[in-house]
Structure 1
Amino acid sequence: MSPRPVSQGLRRRPSRSGPATIAALVLLAGATTVAWAAISRLVTGTWPAFTDAAREAVSPLAWDSPAVWAAAILLVLLGLALLLAAILPGRHTTARLVGPGGGDARSSEAVISRRGLARISAAHVDQTDGVDSSSIRASAKKVEVLVKTPLRDAGELPGGLRDSLARKLRSLGLEPVPKVVVRVRTSND
């Protein structure tokens, strides 16, 4: 009996390849410049002309001076930040949906993107009476709604929208249902 094929899950986290590539290119350029200057010093016996300003700035510093310690600490913190950014995963780019009939989570998976969740939420909110326009930010755990209304007194509008949108998200089959936060701006704000 052959093992079941394992597919990559739909609920992925961003790879961060863009920022990692940029950081790698900047560090590579710096290392290349320093290596070229050091090799030039070894071959010709003098430093290249473009290093004059930097050499004059650091020549009065001693190894135990506060400026050198501050620069070392700053470089260590920068390295730690880059290391943590590479190791720690980003936030999920999708929200999990319960499959049809509550199917087996091991055999099938359904997700909706944050953008899709925001669009569905906006379409639902915009169809509500008293809503002029809406702005939605969605994540897998929270949907934030900012509604503009021509009404002078919003009254029960925020609570009604929150309950209505929560019911809509529950009917979509989101697992878990995101927390809905509604803010209303009236025409006299």
Structure 2
Amino acid sequence: MKRRPRRSAPAVLTAAVLLVVCALVATVAIQTILGETPLITYRAAADALHSTRWADLVPLVAGGTAAVVGLVLLLASVLPGRPTVVPLRDEETTFDSGASRRSYRSTLRTAASDVDGVNAATLSLGRRKVAAVVRTDRTTTDGLADAVRVSLDQRLDQIAPEARPELKVKIKAARSDP
């Protein structure tokens, strides 16, 4: 189970551009049917297009922009995003199970914060790595990183992710006054 994020931003932008173009075409068509002067006349559009050359700056910029936007939209649709659900291992049953990245990070942050001497912990989840930054008021931090790593290892044993991440622990201690 590896749910991927929805590509809502590119879809919304594409839909908004198409909506504006369709609204403009519909407005011009309705104005023409009613016998009013349309916003964009066919004659003006045809004259502008016929007088434009391929080597002019406007067609080159418009074509380049359209190609870049199309390539970005194509890559957004083909390349996978970061999974929104972390798959969990389950040998006993055949059920697919997973945890959201937010709850996974929150659970690991709580495990790191529960260690004696830790004031606060922040975690960042990578594809294969969990990086914990732990803040403490201690001036001597001997063994604190190992204690946090052991606590995180125990929590990962309980959670049992499908791919066990590498743990990286960094301690930020308060500076001692001279």
Whether TM-score is above 0.5 comes out as yes
- The counterpart of 2:6, out of the listed 12, 15, 18, is 15
TM-superposed deviation, 1:125: 0.7
State the partner residue of 1:28: 18
In the other structure, the counterpart of 2:122 is 135
Q: TM-score, normalising length from structure 2?
A: 0.73
The amino acid across from 1:179 in the alignment is E
Return the TM-score normalized by structure 1.
0.70
TM-superposed deviation, 1:177: 0.7
Of 75, 78, 83, the match for 2:74:
83
Letter in 2 for 1:48: L
**What SS class does the counterpart of residue 146 from structure 1 fall into?**
strand
2:144 aligned to 157, 161, 172, which one? 157
Number of residue pairs matched by the alignment: 166
The CA deviation at 1:61 is 6.3
Residue 166 of structure 2 corresponds to: 179
Q: 1:65 to 1:153 in 2, by over 3 A?
A: farther
SS of the residue aligned with 1:74?
Answer: helix
Give, in whole Å, the separation in 2 of the partners of 1:113 and 1:157: 28
- Quote the Cα distance in structure 2 between the aligned partners of 1:40 and 1:69: 32
Q: 1:65 to 1:158 in 2, by over 3 A?
A: farther
Q: Does 1:73 align with 2:49?
A: no
Matched residues, percent identical? 23
Structure 2: distance between partners of 1:48 and 1:172: 62
In structure 2, runs of 5+ residues without a counterpart are: 41-48
* 2:54 aligns with one of 63, 67, 79: 63
Q: Encode CA deviations 1:91-113: one digit per residue, 9 max, x unaligned.
A: 211222222xx225xx2222222
Distance in 2, Cα, partners of 1:24 & 1:125: 43
Structure 2 counterpart of 1:110:
97
CA distance in structure 1 between the partners assigned to 2:141 and 2:39 by the alignment: 70
How far off is 1:133 after superposition? 0.8
- Cα deviation digits, residues 65-103 of structure 1 (max 9, x gap): 23431331121111111122123332211222222xx22
Q: Deviations over 1:154-176 (max 9, x none)?
A: 34433442343134313432221
Contact 1:150 1:187 in 2 (8 A): yes
